[in-house]
Structure 1
């Protein structure tokens, strides 16, 4: 009788043990919804001039989360959409928005002057910075970030620019952490930035 009871207990225990093992092997929930690229070495040579005329490097923003998007002021849809999205993120962050720096890097240095960037970028949020440099410098930095861009159409002046549309996010420690795809939900970006600000 005792052996039958023991056998029955073993029969009941095995499925429970299997469930426990499966639960124990379940990977933890990722810390971020955006693509985690921690360890990538992009942006080491980042040095441009902002729309106020001040020379900038990423070291100037140590202690803040920094987002970098490459675009141009005459972009018909992708660029204003990205900047509008980040404006929504800043509003959602509330007081924490002061610990975030949004940077817009032009890939159209021939047309995007300091004055034009100063008119365009702060429309989305007064804290945003537009950055520019020589065509050679922009090409160098875009290559460093693996950003593609190319003029299309009438190259005499009425052209558009095809370009990579994602956003790079650096943590408060200055390390590159995330790549955010274009048209990502602002709530997702807000949650990821809050996680970075919390030290993840």
Structure 2
């Protein structure tokens, strides 16, 4: 039986919704942590974002946030069937990580799926390996993903009823996290790899 791919209108609608939802999220800032100079606009993260999770990595092993966020880490929530935002943002993380490596800054890159029904460890491995050899993909049960998304204040929702061809609406922030300091900064869809690299390098220098 033939199946039909999502229409252009559905893709455009879901993409527009994701953008609006991403803009709708907000972060509060205040002075005082000594890292303000590294952020766009200064200040420190005031919102309570980030927290513990247990997920399944792209090798099938169960991992915690302590094992994954073990150093400066660029973290993104998306899905492998995403037609636009996710591959672009994952590629941006990968390019930034390579730029940082050239400067002697070791940064982890992590891609957490919000579509565990389709994103098995094998599917994630194929996606992350294509982006960067060191990128980690994380999946889990619906409950696992929901808990991680709540901790990081990530919005996501399925768009469409087709069991095979559907999109996911979701927020599109890339987070910069540190194992001891927690969330350091965030980046928006459309920020260039150079922006991620420069600001991340600033944090790396400041935290030495």
**Same fold, TM-score > 0.5, yes or no:** yes
Give the CA deviation at 1:141.
Answer: 1.3
Write the distance in 2 (CA, Å) between the matches of 1:34 and 1:158: 40
Higher relative contact order (Cα pairs below 8 Å, separated by 6+ residues): 1
Aligned pairs (5 A) from 1:2-151: 30-33=37-40, 38-61=45-68, 64-95=71-102, 99-151=106-158
Write the distance in 2 (CA, Å) between the matches of 1:104 and 1:47: 14
Query: TM-score by structure 2 length?
Result: 0.75
Write the distance in 2 (CA, Å) between the matches of 1:178 and 1:36: 10
Give the CA deviation at 1:196.
Answer: 1.5
Equivalent pair of 1:34/1:178 in contact (CA under 8 Å) = no
Query: TM-score by structure 1 length?
Result: 0.77
Residue deviations 1:74-106, cap 9 Å, x none? 000100100111121122113457621111000
Flag the structure with larger Rg. 1
* Partner in structure 2 of residue 195 of structure 1: 202
Unaligned segments of structure 2, at least 5 residues: 1-35
Unaligned segments of structure 1, at least 5 residues: 1-28
Q: What number of residue pairs does the alignment pair up?
A: 172
Aligned pairs (5 A) from 1:157-176: 157-171=164-178, 173-176=180-183
Give the CA deviation at 1:55.
Answer: 2.1
